[in-house]
Amino acid sequence: MSIQSVKAREILDSRGNPTIEVEVWTNEGMFSAKVPSGASTGIHEAYELRDGDKSRYFGFGVLKAVCNVNNLISPILKGMRVDNQKAIDDKMIELDGTKNKSKLGANAIVGVSMAVARAAASIKGIPLYRYISELAGNSNIRLPVPCFNVINGGKHAGNRLPFQEFMLVPHGAPNFKEALRYGSEVYHSLKEIIKERYGIDATNVGDEGGFAPSLSSPDEALTLLVDAINHSGYEGVIKIAVDSAASEFWNPKDSQSYDLDFKNTSSSHSINSLNNGEQLLSKYVEILKKYPIAFFEDPFGEDDWENHSKITAEIGMKIQIIGDDLLCTNPERIKKAIAEKTVNSLLLKINQIGTLTETIEAAKLAKDAGWGCLVSHRSGETDDHFIADLVVGLGTGEIKSGAPCRFERLAKYNRLMKIEEELEKAHRANGNLFEFAGDDFYHF
Ligand SMILES: O=C(O)[C@@H](CO)OP(=O)(O)O
Ligand SMILES: [Mg+2]
């Protein structure tokens, strides 16, 4: 089970942008992984290395990162055992030598880290989720509640909606398979309602497969979701979640303002769209009063610790306040947020920190603090479904992977259905326990 060589190549992701595929070669076969890529990336994320050579892919190629895998990482990992995840991840971190993995590229490192885990699981003859649960020392194997992003705004869509994601959270489903069915049914009801109210061309979709109708206010989007949930008969069974991705419309220099009309650059830009932190906080409190909200993600900018703490103190006992750009899956930032009670939940993205070992460390910190932990895809994705196994192995109980459509999103949901089937079979055969997180996905 030792590594013979590691190879990478440039492939395209769901947005048609270059990304990396990594192959780990051993004497027992080849194991691969594909790397996702964000659009609304946090400034504190590990560094995604791009070429800057304008003659190829507008300068966004990843050939430098590919070369780093082939010429720098491969030789130092040669001969190491694939089941020594921590040693391999540490070795790459050491070789990189920077704080944000900018020398080798976090995209190069994370691809290797994921492919190595896949190799180890396969050679041991166990599913990847089981191997990850062993690495994390987690005995609570759980199927997650899926959070389906069915209305896209922010940086992911060409409408004026300031908030980036509006999600359906079918917490009241009895199992994962049913949760997926509920989500898909509401998705189709939503399409009909949007068509009826805004016309057929409003049913085009954004980067994560959610509809991107020409709305400008979060209230319009939330009303559509409530109507679609009720129309499908899932009132009380499906909640709604919002990822504001507020760093995208935060201007820390300009008197800490949040511009809810930030995508409108024309003269019709609304002067009423500017909010200070306090005003935006009252908007969230109003939304929580009016709609069945499960969580707010990134309600404020990535370095606005103060307003995050305020919203957590005010409504964090009722719902999850999730830090994505704020925390960047970075153990140092997570520790600070735990100490200062800045948020009460973590968004977990493996490419945001760059290795599986550090991702597991981040998830453990969240768990020990009694936080929620939502495992997440990126807006630029591939058909790799690594995160499906990750969420089951860590047992965090919640995942977001976009809308229940478009294959790069469904790859994860379909893989979760397979895992559920496999676990049910094992349960019938030998009583092995597992559960669907369901209503317990996060309780305060
Ligand atoms: O903000 C987010 O949570 C993600 C994924 O939905 O978006 P991106 O990958 O563009 O950062
Ligand atoms: Mg986010």
**Residue 269 — pLDDT band, cuts 50, 70, 90?**
confident
With residue 362 as reference, give the H or E element that holds it. Answer: helix 356-368
**Strand 293-297 to 239-243 pairing:** parallel
What distances in angstroms separate CA 164 from CA 161, 167, 270, 438, one per listed residue?
7, 10, 19, 25
pLDDT at residue 383, rounded to an integer: 98
Q: Which of 12-16, 237-241, 248-252 has the lowest mean pLDDT?
A: 248-252
Spatial distance between the Cα atoms of 315 and 300, rounded to a whole number of angstroms: 14
pLDDT at residue 431, rounded to an integer: 84
CA of 195 to the centre of ligand 1 (A): 26
Taking the CA of residue 207 as reference, the ligand 1 atom at the shortest distance is 10
Spatial distance between the Cα atoms of 90 and 94, rounded to a whole number of angstroms: 6
Spatial distance between the Cα atoms of 394 and 364, rounded to a whole number of angstroms: 9
Spatial distance between the Cα atoms of 184 and 404, rounded to a whole number of angstroms: 6
117 close to 131: Cβ distance less than 8 angstroms: yes
pLDDT at residue 443, rounded to an integer: 59
122 close to 129: Cβ distance less than 8 angstroms: no
Does the annotation place 377 within a ligand binding site?
A: yes
- At 239, give phi and psi (nearest 5°): -100, 180
pLDDT at residue 272, rounded to an integer: 73
Residues above pLDDT 70, as percent of the chain? 98
The helix-helix angle for 305-315 and 331-340 (nearest 10°) equals 50
The active-site residue out of 34, 191, 349, 412 is 349
**pLDDT single digits (tens) 351-381:** 999 999 999 999 999 999 999 999 999 999 9
Does the annotation place 332 within a ligand binding site?
A: no
For the chain, the residue count is 444
Taking the CA of residue 155 as reference, the ligand 1 atom at the shortest distance is 10
Which ligand has the minimum distance to the alpha carbon of residue 352? 1
Q: Is the CB of 1 under 6 A from ligand 1?
A: no
Spatial CA neighbour of 382 closest among 78, 107, 103, 170: 107
Does the annotation place 304 within a ligand binding site?
A: no
Which ligand has the minimum distance to the alpha carbon of residue 45? 1
- On the question of pLDDT at 19 being above 60, the answer is yes
Spatial CA neighbour of 416 closest among 119, 113, 148, 228: 148
Q: Does the active-site annotation cover 208?
A: yes
pLDDT at residue 234, rounded to an integer: 98
**Residue 255 — pLDDT band, cuts 50, 70, 90?**
low
Does the annotation place 90 within a ligand binding site?
A: no
Does the annotation place 266 within a ligand binding site?
A: no
Arithmetic mean of pLDDT, 383-409 = 98
The active-site residue out of 48, 185, 208, 381 is 208
Q: Is the CB of 38 under 6 A from ligand 1?
A: yes
Spatial distance between the Cα atoms of 393 and 415, rounded to a whole number of angstroms: 13
Arithmetic mean of pLDDT, 310-336 = 98
Spatial CA neighbour of 351 closest among 6, 78, 42: 42
Contacts made by residues 406-411, CB under 8 angstroms, sequence distance 24+:
406/14, 406/205, 406/208, 406/209, 407/383, 408/13, 408/14, 408/381, 408/382, 408/383, 409/208, 409/209, 409/377, 409/381, 411/381, 411/383, 411/384, 411/385
CA of 361 to the centre of ligand 1 (A): 21
Does the annotation place 171 within a ligand binding site?
A: no
- On the question of pLDDT at 230 being above 90, the answer is yes
Q: Using CA of residue 70, residue 73, residue 77, residue 83, what is the dihedral sign?
A: negative
Q: Is the CB of 376 under 6 A from ligand 1?
A: yes
Strand partners, 372: 345
Q: Which of 37-51, 143-157, 264-278 has the lowest mean pLDDT?
A: 264-278
> Around ion ligand 2, which residues have CB less than 5 A away?
243, 324
CA of 35 to the centre of ligand 1 (A): 14
Residues above pLDDT 90, as percent of the chain? 91
pLDDT at residue 289, rounded to an integer: 98
Summary mean pLDDT of the chain = 95
Q: Using CA of residue 226, residue 232, residue 235, residue 239, what is the dihedral sign?
A: negative
Mutate to test the pocket of ligand 1, among 13, 19, 40, 248 (most ligand atoms within 8 A of CB): 40
Q: Is the CB of 324 under 6 A from ligand 1?
A: yes
The two three-digit tokens of residue 386, written as one number: 């690594």
How many CA atoms within 13 Å lie on the side-chain side of 160?
Answer: 17
Q: Is the CB of 273 under 6 A from ligand 1?
A: no
Q: Is the CB of 245 under 6 A from ligand 1?
A: yes
Which residues contact residue 162 at a Cβ distance below 8 angstroms, ignoring those fewer than 6 apart?
153, 154, 218, 244, 249, 259, 260, 261, 262, 263, 273
Arithmetic mean of pLDDT, 200-207 = 94
pLDDT at residue 254, rounded to an integer: 67
Mutate to test the pocket of ligand 1, among 37, 343, 379, 409 (most ligand atoms within 8 A of CB): 379
With residue 71 as reference, give the H or E element that holds it. Answer: none
CA of 71 to the centre of ligand 2 (A): 34
Please state the pTM of the whole predicted model. Answer: 0.97
**Residue 46 — pLDDT band, cuts 50, 70, 90?**
very high
**pLDDT single digits (tens) 78-87:** 999 999 999 9
For ligand 1, atom 8, the nearest C-alpha belongs to 38
CA of 77 to the centre of ligand 2 (A): 33
The two three-digit tokens of residue 124, written as one number: 């041991």
- On the question of pLDDT at 214 being above 60, the answer is yes
381 close to 408: Cβ distance less than 8 angstroms: yes
Beta strands, E only, 252-397: 257-259, 274-275, 293-297, 320-323, 345-348, 372-376
pLDDT at residue 169, rounded to an integer: 98
Q: Using CA of residue 77, residue 80, residue 81, residue 83, what is the dihedral sign?
A: negative
